[in-house]
């Protein structure tokens, strides 16, 4: 009786045919959903999918800047933090092509390799350029609201 107690019986059932029948339609549905998700405009893509596109963007620009794996990883972390700070959310900053499903450019991303040390330096400039030739507004130029009579309010600028 002890000899039967410790025996393990294996069943010889093939699950491969059942799983492949179920996974093919499911896989095609998932792939279609992913294609649809990437074909949206940049600000409509979910965070995880944006991170995927940022990785592809880094892979595409890496030969131009001769980036090492460490530099690619550091740039990805930098862009991920910028995405979390909502610096890469607008269509004006990230130019994304919905037809090719790729990032074309990131405005304000400045990348340079230091010739002396060989380190790659990058930063994201989010400041608007200062307009030259415009005058500052004075306190006197701020319009004030005055009511002439109670039925018809009039607006005038103080001089």
**Which residues lie across from 97 on neighbouring strands?**
102
- Note down the domain range covering 64: 27-128
How many independent structural domains does the chain possess?
A: 1
Residue 8 lies in a domain: no
d(CA 114, CA 139): 46
**Mean local confidence (pLDDT), 123-128:** 76
Least confident residue range of 41-45, 115-119, 154-158: 154-158
Residue 17 lies in a domain: no
* Higher-pLDDT residue of 113, 148: 113
d(CA 129, CA 126): 9
Residue 79: CB partners within 8 Å, gap ≥ 6? 54, 58, 88, 106, 124
* Cβ–Cβ under 8 Å, residues 49 and 103: no
Residue 104 lies in a domain: yes
Q: What is the pLDDT of residue 24?
A: 79
Cβ-based burial of 82 (10 A; exposed 0-12, middle 13-18, buried ≥19): buried
Q: Could you tell me the maximum CA-CA distance found in the chain, to the nearest angstrom? A: 109
Residue 48 lies in a domain: yes
Nearest to 71 by CA among 21, 17, 106, 113: 113
d(CA 18, CA 14): 8
Q: What percent of the chain has pLDDT over 90?
A: 23
Query: For the chain, what is the mean pLDDT?
Result: 75
pTM summary value: 0.61
Residue 140 lies in a domain: no
Residue 105 lies in a domain: yes
Least confident residue range of 29-33, 47-51, 123-127, 145-149: 145-149
- List phi, psi (to 5°) of 79: -70, -30
Residue 142 lies in a domain: no
**Mean local confidence (pLDDT), 134-148:** 47
Residue 139 lies in a domain: no
Q: What is the pLDDT of residue 11?
A: 55
């Amino acid at each position: 009786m002890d000899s039967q107690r410790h025996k393990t019986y294996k069943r010889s059932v093939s699950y491969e045919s059942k799983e492949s029948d179920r996974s093919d339609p499911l896989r095609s549905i998932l792939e279609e959903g992913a294609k649809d998700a990437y074909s949206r405009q940049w600000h409509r893509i979910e965070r995880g999918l944006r991170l995927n596109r940022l990785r592809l963007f880094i892979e595409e620009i890496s030969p131009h800047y001769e980036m090492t794996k460490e530099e690619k990883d550091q740039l990805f972390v930098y862009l991920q933090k910028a995405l979390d700070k909502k610096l890469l959310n607008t269509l004006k900053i990230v130019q994304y092509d919905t037809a090719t499903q790729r990032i074309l450019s990131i405005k304000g991303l400045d990348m340079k390799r230091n010739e002396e040390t060989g380190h790659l330096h990058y930063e994201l400039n989010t400041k608007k350029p200062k307009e030259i030739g415009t005058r500052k507004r004075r306190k006197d130029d701020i319009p004030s609201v005055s009511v002439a009579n109670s039925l018809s309010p009039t607006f005038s600028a103080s001089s």
